[in-house]
Amino acid sequence: MKSLKHVFVFTLATVLLLSNYSCTEASDTRVIKLAHGLDVTHPVHKAMVFMGERLKEKSAGKMSLDIYPSQQLGSERECLELLQIGSLGMTKVSTGVLENFAPQLKVFGLPFLFRDAEHRFAVLEGEIGEKLLSSSIPQRLKGLTFYDAGSRSFYTKEPVETPEDLEGLKLRVMESQTAMNMVKNLGGSPTPIAWGELYTALQQGVVDGAENNLPSFYLSHHYEVCKYFVVDEHTALPDELLISTLIWNDLSEEEQKWVKEAADESLEFEKKIWHEAEMEALAEIQKAGVEVITPDKEPFRNRVKSMYEQFSEDPDMKELIEAIQAVKTN
C-alpha cells in the first residue's frame, strides 16, 4: 500500500511539474517550482517565501517561485529524484538525506562536530561550505545555500538523562546511515520514517521517540505525544536549498545571478528568524507540559567517539573533518 502511495505521489508530481516548470507563451515570467516537506509556519519555509519575493524584485517580475510545502509533491528523497530528472526545479532537504546523493555531506551527521553556532556558520558560509554545496552537482543537484537548522536533540515518551536510558528505545531517524549509526552507538534502535508519517508513528507506538530541532518538534505537534525534550544537541545538520542542474543550466547568466543572490539573502533572513522560532518553541512546549532535560553531554560524546575513527579510515573524509575542526572563529 505504501509503495502504491509513493508511485501515485511521484506520478502526480511528475505530470504537474513537467507541464508547469517555466514560462508560458502568455507570460514573460519564468516560474520555478520549489517543493519541500515543512509546514508553512516553519522559519525555513518563510525563508523560501522571502527568497521568492527577492527573486521577483531582482528580476523585475521576470522570475518567480511557486512553492509546494508540506510534502505535497513527495518526501525529501522523492523531491531530490524529481530534481534529477528536471521535473521539479528546486527543493529544500536536510543534509542528512542528501548524504545519500553526495557522500561528503555525511560529515554533518558526525555528533558534536561543531564547537558552537559561530563555528558552524564559519564553516557553512566559508570555503568549505561552498565546496560542499557543489559536491552534489554530479548527481544533477546544485546546492544554492545552507539554511540554519539549529541543533538536533532527542524527544521521547520517557525521561532520558544518560545514553543508558536510550537503550532499547525505537527512535525515528532520517534516511541517513550516519544518523542510524549514531543512534546505534548510543544504544537506541534507529527506525527510518518519513517526516510526514512520524506523528502517527509516535501516537501508535511504532517508535518511542525521535530527534530534531526545537522548532520542528513544536510545529509538528510531536510535543502532544512526547513529553520529554532532551537537550543533548548531538548534531547540527543544516538544511540545503538545491536546484536541478537541468534547470540551472537552462538559465541565462543574469537569471543565475538573480537566483543565487536571492538564495543568499534568504539565508540571512532565515538566521534572524530562526533564533526567535527556537525561543517561541521552547516557551510553548513548556507551557504544554513538556519537561526539558539538560543532560551531561560527556557520556553521549564518549559513546560516539568510534564514529570519528570509522570516518577517518577514509583519507578524504579525515582531511575534511580536520579542515572543519581547524576553522577559527573570533
In a domain, 199, yes or no: yes
Neighbours of 255 (CB within 10 A): 18
In this structure, the answer to whether residues 196 and 80 fall within a common structural domain is: no
| Mean per-residue pLDDT, 298-322 | 96
Judgement on whether residues 225 and 173 belong to the same structural domain of the protein: yes
pLDDT tens column, 25-72: 336 799 999 999 999 999 999 999 999 999 999 999 999 999 999 999
Which helix (H) or strand (E) segment is 32 a member of?
strand 30-35
Q: Across the chain, what does the average pLDDT equal?
A: 92
Say if residue 209 is in the same domain as residue 313.
yes
Q: How many domains does the chain have?
A: 2
Asked, for residue 327, whether it belongs to a domain, the answer is: no
| 111 domain-assigned | no
Domain that holds residue 205: 152-236+280-319
Task: State whether 160 and 128 are in the same domain.
Answer: no
Co-location of 175 and 204 in the same domain: yes
Residue 46 lies in a domain: yes
Predicted confidence (pLDDT) at residue 124 exceeds the cutoff of 50: yes
Q: Classify residue 79: in a domain, yes or no.
A: yes
**Domain-embedded: residue 307:** yes
Residues 123 and 90 in one domain: yes
Both 167 and 306 in one domain: the answer is yes
Domain membership flag for residue 324? no
* Interval 61-107: pLDDT, tens: 999 999 999 999 999 999 999 999 999 999 999 999 999 999 999 99
Residues 139 and 242 in one domain: yes
Task: Render pLDDT for 170-227 as a digit per residue (tens, 0 to 9).
Answer: 999 998 999 999 999 999 999 999 998 999 999 999 999 999 999 999 999 999 999 9
Residue 20 has pLDDT above 80, yes or no: no
- 29 and 171 both lie in a single domain: no
Claim to verify: residue 60 and residue 165 sit in the same structural domain: no
| 89-102 exposure pattern, b = at least 16 Cβ within 10 A, e = fewer | bbbbbbbbbbbbbb
Q: What is the mean pLDDT of residues 146-162?
A: 97
Percent of the chain surpassing pLDDT 70:
92
pLDDT score, position 27: 64
**Smallest Cα–Cα separation from 194: which of 173, 212, 216, 179?**
173
C-alpha–C-alpha distance, residues 179 and 195, integer Å:
14
Share of the chain above pLDDT 90, in %: 90
Q: Are residues 47 and 7 in the same domain?
A: yes
CATH code of the domain covering residue 67? 3.40.190.170
**pTM given for the model:** 0.88
The answer to whether residue 110 is domain-embedded is no
Angle between helices 253-287 and 43-58 (to 10 degrees): 150
| 171 and 196, same domain (yes or no) | yes
